[in-house]
Structure 1
Amino acid sequence: MTHTLVLDRSYGLDDLFALTLNRYPLARKKKKTIRVSDTTSLVWNPSANEATIEVPMHRDGGPSEIPDGFGFDTAFPNGVPAGEEREILEFALNAVRRLGGKVVTDTGHELAPHQFMQPSLHVIAAYELAPKDLLEIVQKIVKESELVGETEGFPYMISAPIFAHADLVVEATTLEEDIPAIEHVEWVKEGAALYTVAYRPDDPSSLVAENPEKPQIREWREAYLGCSAVARAIWDETGGFVLDYENFLVNPNELF
């Protein structure tokens, strides 16, 4: 059996390919096939609005001690995917998280991460905002926001209470990692500022859930709305790029 990526009918092969390039910039589309690498492809079936995931099987041990939030332990009780298989499955799950749909594994399980799971956004900008300037931006949205500690420049952090048990945190740092979706941009190569807008509950395990209850979904959504408003306000000031927590590009004009 093979894995299948089933997309919401609102989206199709071109949308999937655009998202694929965020993670695999060298991917190529020919007719109905997206070739990710020499050994991994997504073969599109337009009548079912789904893609068959062709990848060598690589399973590693049994269930992990810490749930991953994707549901791999449930779907693969005899050994979770590893290596290239794990990588393409994680991409597929992020694709359905962003576009809607589900991933049907070769074991027959259906996985569908909620779109608001792990509410967090990144703004990549060409220049650094002074702490007082960023604080002013955030306070327009959450007036109780405050700088954490004493600082005059990068790196620094702003914290804003949004629930009794959770804060919205903005971390201003220098971009260190290579992000496939934007690594070709010259000013990013030369050095960029990274503003991470994240929801930080007292219990980090509440950030992910394979089958979230309605109260959890409502909280994720409210947290995402807060992160979205702050990220959009930062982007309005700095320009640059907005990405989700898995470093897939987000259209700033579609932020709430």
Structure 2
Amino acid sequence: MPPASLPPLPLSTAAGYQARHLLVLPGDVLVDEVETLAVSRFAGARWDVVPAGVEPATVAPRTAAPGEPGVLRTSRHTTLTGPFAPGPGLPPGSAMVFDVVTPRERGEAAFPGSGDRDGLGRAFPAGLPEKEERRAVDWLVEAARRLGGSIAVDVPSSGAPGIVLTPDPGVAVDMTLYSDVWLEPDAAQAVLGQVDGRIRLAMDGVDWQGPPAGIADKPLYRGEQMDPAVRKQIHAAADDVDIAALTSGEPLDGYGLLLDLGVDGMIAVEIGDEPDLPFLLRGLPWAAGGAVSYRVRWEPDDLAASQDEFPPMEYTVARKRSAGIVAALAKALHGAVGGEIADEAGFLVEPDDL
């Protein structure tokens, strides 16, 4: 729960070259959770000033004095200050607010008719954030979605905030499991088949038929003067390399499975090596050399609806049904190989919460 008594949100904390946004959270969120999500995304995230009653994940310079807010730094130029008490114009149920200051960096406006799943085109009609500000805004949207909160953008120095976005938690469907255990294809199908017997391996390919006939007799480019005999030797050597690669019996380093959901679309499970791990996993001994990733993705039939801020009811019903299956598949894989599960934003998820 947030502290019982919070200082009021200040009228202005940003200079002219900076943008000011708010992260607005409900009463069941802990301040520590905000820090965890920041550390999950930003390598240099740390408290400059720790709010009273919070145990920081890393060493901080000092603890806030009574009535003083904390300062969480996500980069050299971006800070979250708070928590503050919510002011007017914020959604019902708002319990604490973080005042976010970042460089104002704007680009082109959203292209008309392009997807705007999170409403950023509506929130920034004159030009979308880019660079540092875009990284901050994207994280704010994903943190608000994860914590059941909202964000207010371009908050003026005085008065109520203008545009408030409340990201739909149901949008985040896909999950990834990271583990140091490799499941062979048949074993993965057996594990996932306990969740849904319709899942099938997707490993069928097309036999290579060799290079096109006569390719060794054709010049590489218009005007090429290579000796025909030399050209044939080069192509023959390339063929030998291809044949050796196709017959070497190299170990499998990736494969997939598919689950056809009919009108709800399809779920794809992709298994392979993963060198690029979420920040929170990179220091773990079992992940020091990379890991195996098990990506569980929903592919809806209506891709256009998937990028709508307010999609049709048919789509949201299909998404909810599919999300339950995605979560069950991820949990089944975790039961077989252990590791850690992350959501679409790279935030870790407890298997018991699925």
- TM-score normalised by length of structure 1: 0.93
Q: Report deviation, 1:63.
A: 1.6
Q: Of residues 203, 227, 232 in structure 2, which corresponds to 1:149?
A: 203
- 1:131 aligns with one of 175, 185, 191: 185
48-57 or 110-119: bigger deviation: 110-119
Alignment partner, residue 100 of structure 1: 148
Q: Residue 11 of structure 1: CA displacement? A: 0.6
Query: Who is 2:11 aligned against?
Result: none
SS at match of 2:323: helix
Is 1:175 paired with 2:229? no
Three-state SS of the structure 2 residue aligned to 1:78 is coil
**CA–CA distance in structure 2, aligned partners of residues 112 and 216 of structure 1:** 19
Residues 182-218 of structure 1: CA distance to partner in whole angstroms, max 9, x if unpaired?
Answer: 1222322313110001111233233333123443333
Query: Structure 1 stretch 53-62 or stretch 12-21: which is displaced more?
Result: 12-21
Please name the residue that 1:219 is paired with: 318
Report the 3-state secondary structure (helix = DSSP H, G, I; strand = E; otherwise coil) of the residue aligned with 1:223. Answer: helix
- Aligned-CA RMSD value: 1.8
Going by fraction, where is strand more abundant, 1 or 2?
A: 1
Structure 1: distance between partners of 2:262 and 2:164: 32
Contact 1:117 1:208 in 2 (8 A): no
Which residue of the partner structure matches residue 60 of structure 1? 107
| Counterpart for residue 39 of structure 1 | 77
In the other structure, the counterpart of 1:85 is 133
Using the TM superposition, give the Cα deviation of residue 118 of structure 1 relative to its aligned residue in structure 2, in angstroms. 4.0
CA distance in 2 between partners of 1:248 and 1:68 (Å): 22
- Cα distance 1:62–1:180, how it changes in 2: closer, same or farther (>3 A)? same
Give the Cα–Cα distance (whole angstroms) in 1 for the partners of residues 312 and 82 of structure 2: 33
Which amino acid in 2 is paired with 1:157? G
Equivalent residues of 1:166, 1:200 under 8 A apart: yes
Corresponding position of 2:353: 254
Aligned: 1:26 with 2:74: no
Q: Give the letter aligned to residue 272 of structure 2.
A: T
Contact 1:123 1:231 in 2 (8 A): yes
Distance 2:97 2:136 in 1: 15
For 2:178 and 2:41, locate their aligned partners in 1 and report how far apart those are by CA, in whole Å: 16
**110-119 vs 90-99, greater mean Cα deviation:** 110-119
Instruction: Look up the match of 2:261.
Output: 162
Distance 1:96 1:163, change over 3 A: farther
2:31 alignment partner AA: L
Query: Which structure has the larger Rg?
Result: 2
| Conserved? CA contact 2:263–2:301, under 8 Å | no
Q: Which range moved further: 115-124 or 63-72?
A: 63-72
Instruction: Report SS of the residue matched to 2:269.
Output: strand
Q: 1:73 — aligned with what?
A: 121
Match of 1:10 among 10, 14, 28: 28
Which deviates the most, 166-175 or 183-192?
A: 183-192
Per-residue CA shift, 1:130-182, capped at 9, x if unaligned?
00000011111111111113498331110012232501111111103242221
Aligned positions, number = 255
- Aligned partner of residue 80 in structure 1, secondary structure: coil
Amino acid at match of 1:12: L
Percentage of identical aligned residues = 24
Shift of 1:243: 0.2
Q: State the secondary structure of the residue aligned to 2:288.
A: helix
Within 2, Cα distance between the matches of 1:167 and 1:228? 14
What SS does structure 1 have at the residue aligned with 2:81?
A: strand
- Is the partner of 1:81 in helix, strand or coil? coil
One-letter amino acid of the structure 1 residue matched with residue 103 of structure 2: P
Q: Counterpart amino acid of 2:74?
A: V
Worse-superposed segment, 180-189 or 224-233: 180-189
SS in 1 for 2:279: coil
- CA deviation map 1:98-131 (0-9, x unaligned): 1111111116211122112141000001021000
Query: Is residue 97 of structure 2 the alignment partner of residue 50 of structure 1?
Result: yes
Which deviates the most, 118-127 or 18-27? 18-27
- Structure 2: where are the runs of 5+ without partners? 1-18, 52-69, 87-95, 156-161, 206-250
Cα distance in structure 1, aligned partners of 2:36 and 2:264: 37
How far does residue 251 in structure 1 lie from its aligned partner after superposition? 1.0
Does the 8 Å contact 1:118/1:199 carry over to 2? no
Residue matched to 1:140: 194
